[in-house]
Structure 1
Amino acid sequence: MAAIDGLRAIAVLMVIAFHYLGRWPNDYTGLSISPMFEFGWLGVDLFFIISGYCIAMTASRAGSLAIFWGRRFGRIYPAYVAGVILTFFLVSAFGLPGKEVTAFQAAGNLVFLNALGFPPVDGVYWSLIVELKFYAIYGLLLCISRRPAVILTGMAAIFVIGLGLRLAGINHFDRLIRPEHIILFLIGSALFFAHAVESFSAQKRYYAVALVGFLASFTTGAYDAVIPYAAVTLSVGMLIIASRRFPVFSMLWPIGLISYSWYLLHQNIGLLIIRGLTGAGYGDAIAIGAATLSTFALAVMLYLAFESRGIRRQANRLFEGLFAMLRLNRFARQPA
């Protein structure tokens, strides 16, 4: 998994570069350099492919819906709560125009009410809402069948229905999950299923599904402005996941380990630092470097405190117990 962690590192660096150097106008950040890395948002799409892989892996090891959802929530929630609280207090203390929320709104973020219209403590949380939707979809598919072919067919059907309704001018289905997102989860899941079987013919079928998903992702219109960048980014990501043996990417695994915590913290806190330093007369390189290093250091601390195995184990037990109390214990039978 070292190469996949290395891919996570590339993904988070792309997103950080986008948010610091491409997302916000210079009159907001105080930077004087021309915007660049406007394609860096593709790093989030890499994360979705990786998530599809990891979610399918978690499901393959879970014996019930309660265990599956419990482990996924246990993975993301502790660091998320800490990230929300830290970002809220820093933004409230130092001020960030247009991104400040009330304590009540921040509390709503802790239970994901930002999915229902609450202002987010940090805009990057939108991708976590997409993840939660996919947890629900994947879990429901598992209750129908645990056969990979059925699961992939279900995801493909959601993609086709969503895209068809959008082309017909009906966008309400996007509230469930956008077609450009479900197809990325499908790609990651297909790559996992290819690794999980021993039959070479079955592996080829799953790789073919991932390839078709790659091609289908360009039908949504999401990449129309960045087609060359998207083609390279997604294809390289798929190749790394499929091979799991890329020495160059494998060396980046330590950054990949803290990529989730860094993703949670980098945007608003980084913008605070950049605006503060450029406003005080410091140069662009110093401002961007300080934001990068400071948020990285905070991410390391967040990772050590809230993403350790002990914390994850306790969070898994907590959420597995909560979902079990709701009688979410049934999966379809394991295929023979």
Structure 2
Amino acid sequence: MGGYDYLRLAAAILVIAHHARVLDGRPPLMLGGGADLGALGVGIFFVISGYLVAGSLARAPSLGVFVAKRALRIFPGLAIALLFTAFVLGPLVSTVGLGDYLRDQAPYGYVLRNLSLYAVTYDLPGVFLAAPMAGVVNGSLWTLRLEFTAYLALAALGAARQATTRPLASLAIIAAGVTIGLHVAGLDARGDFFRIVYLASLNGFLFLAGAGFWTSRAAPPVWLAIVTIPLLLTPLWFLALPALVVRLGALPLPRPPVDLSYGLYIYSFPLQQMLAERGALNLLSSLALALPCAALSWLLVEKPALRLKTRLTPPTPRTVLSPAAALSD
């Protein structure tokens, strides 16, 4: 599974590289007529998540344990990142005085609303108002709502005994069709509603495709991953991603000692906004600030939280939510 760890790290760096341009007021780098670097990085995350979370669902002794494990992966690291942003970084960069800032309800609401995942808010008092993308504190948070919704949807399929290859493939085809239809009709960038539907169907397809590959227990052949690569340069780029990611993820690489991908993802955006306000934003400066935060997040928050997952699983796990054979955690 080591290949997936390196792919997640690469995906986080792609997102940071994308933001290093757009938060500085420059146009994004595009893969031909396909995705920008940010969409590609997020897409890789969703394929990996679908693949690995389907395995977690199959091994879970109950739906409650499955959801609890997913919560332990997302919420502890997110909570500390939100507190750091609202009450350490925010006061340091805000144009509002410290007393007025702390008396304002917005920083507290920022933490609580974003911790809910579904009431995302992006602003803090006087923070990043001079940045090219003014007032947006952490524009990466929207994907966590989609991610957790995908977990819940997969859990619902598991409860209905439908978390198997055929239903997942059918849903993935529907999601791909909606994505293509919205793009062809030019609705994917027209208004918030259509944009949300487009992003949900796009990333939903990637998640379902990853989950489908896991339930089928069949790694895509090398030839399939290779022949789909040219699609990455077209508007149909997302169709190529699942086979390519799962094939690369299956490489027998040693596990890295730390997993920095999540920390990089949730800390980098506000740090890049701070750099943008000071005219010092680039990929290297972004990584120089984000990597220490990601390392501390992993060592002090995420890794200890993930240790709690072992207490939720009995010594001999049994598959109750999927007919697929259980794998050891």
Give me the TM-score of the superposition, normalised by structure 2.
0.70
Equivalent position of 1:30 in the other structure: none
Equivalent position of 1:244 in the other structure: 251
Contact 1:83 1:265 in 2 (8 A): yes
Equivalent position of 1:260 in the other structure: 262
Q: 1:302 aligns with which of 292, 297, 300?
A: 297
* Letter paired with 1:70: A
Q: 1:86 aligns with which of 74, 84, 92?
A: 84
2:261 and 2:62 map into 1 onto residues whose CA distance is 28
1:229-267 superposed Cα distances (whole Å, 9 cap, x missing partner): 7677665424202x323xxxx479457x11111111011
* Letter paired with 2:251: R
Contact 1:108 1:118 in 2 (8 A): no
Q: CA separation of 1:35/1:77 partners in 2, compared to 1, >3 Å: closer, same or farther?
A: same
Equivalent position of 1:314 in the other structure: 308
Equivalent position of 2:59 in the other structure: 61
Contact 1:145 1:151 in 2 (8 A): no
- Structure 1, gaps ≥5 residues long: 27-33, 196-202, 321-329
Q: 1:127 aligns with which of 143, 167, 189?
A: 143
Q: 2:119 aligns with which of 105, 116, 133?
A: 116
* Letter paired with 1:182: G
Q: CA separation of 1:163/1:19 partners in 2, compared to 1, >3 Å: closer, same or farther?
A: closer
* Letter paired with 2:260: I
Contact 2:49 2:210 in 1 (8 A): yes
Contact 1:12 1:259 in 2 (8 A): yes
1:228 and 1:254 map into 2 onto residues whose CA distance is 35
Whichever structure has more helix as a proportion of its residues is 1
| CA shift for structure 1 position 163 | 5.1
Contact 2:173 2:205 in 1 (8 A): no
* Letter paired with 2:307: R
- Structure 2, gaps ≥5 residues long: 31-35, 96-103, 124-136, 314-318
* Letter paired with 1:303: W
Q: CA separation of 1:252/1:91 partners in 2, compared to 1, >3 Å: closer, same or farther?
A: same
Aligned length: 282
Contact 2:164 2:215 in 1 (8 A): yes
* Letter paired with 2:91: A
1:183-221 superposed Cα distances (whole Å, 9 cap, x missing partner): 1012211222244xxxxxxx3xx749xx79x98xx8xxx
* Letter paired with 2:287: T
SS in 2 for 1:178: helix
Q: 2:154 aligns with which of 138, 161, 164?
A: 138
| CA shift for structure 1 position 298 | 1.1
Equivalent position of 1:198 in the other structure: none
Contact 1:194 1:207 in 2 (8 A): no
- Within a 5 Å distance, the mapping from 1:6-85 to structure 2 comes to 6-21=6-21, 23-26=22-25, 35=27, 37-38=29-30, 39-41=36-38, 42-85=40-83
Give me the TM-score of the superposition, normalised by structure 1.
0.69
Q: CA separation of 1:35/1:127 partners in 2, compared to 1, >3 Å: closer, same or farther?
A: same
Identity %: 21
1:266-323 superposed Cα distances (whole Å, 9 cap, x missing partner): 11112213433x3xxxx66xx6533311210111011101111x422337769x9xxx
